[in-house]
Amino acid sequence: MADAALNGDFPIWRTPEGEPVSCVEKIKVLNENLAELRALAQDALEDAVLMGCDERQVRDVLAGIVAGLVNPYSR
């Protein structure tokens, strides 16, 4: 899935039960959000590297941000 987003392709979005999301508007929002996240992360990586930061550290920090996201709707 990550490779698809990096190439400008998008994943098949799935429900928790594994079924594909079928609503076109929902898919559009999900794909737009993913594209925005990718662009922002790319900008952050480029800025950090240009300012002399270690690329691996920046990638680890970005991955940590994603890993630390909280689902406010979990039961």
- Among residues 46, 39, 34, the alpha carbon closest in space to that of 2 is found at 34
Domain assignment present for residue 74? The answer is no
β-sheet bridge partners, residue 15: none
Domain assignment present for residue 75? The answer is no
Domain assignment present for residue 17? The answer is yes
Q: Can you state the angle between helices 55-67 and 24-50, rounded to 10 degrees?
A: 150
Q: What total of structural domains would you count in the chain?
A: 1
- Which range marks the domain in which residue 19 is found? 2-67
pLDDT band at 1 (very low <50, low <70, confident <90, very high): very low
Three-state helix/strand/coil letters over 14-58 = ECCCCCECCCHHHHHHHHHHHHHHHHHHHHHHHHHHHCCCCHHHH
pLDDT tens sequence across 21-53 = 999 999 999 999 999 999 999 999 999 999 999
| Report field, pTM of the whole predicted structure over 0.85 | no
Domain assignment present for residue 23? The answer is yes
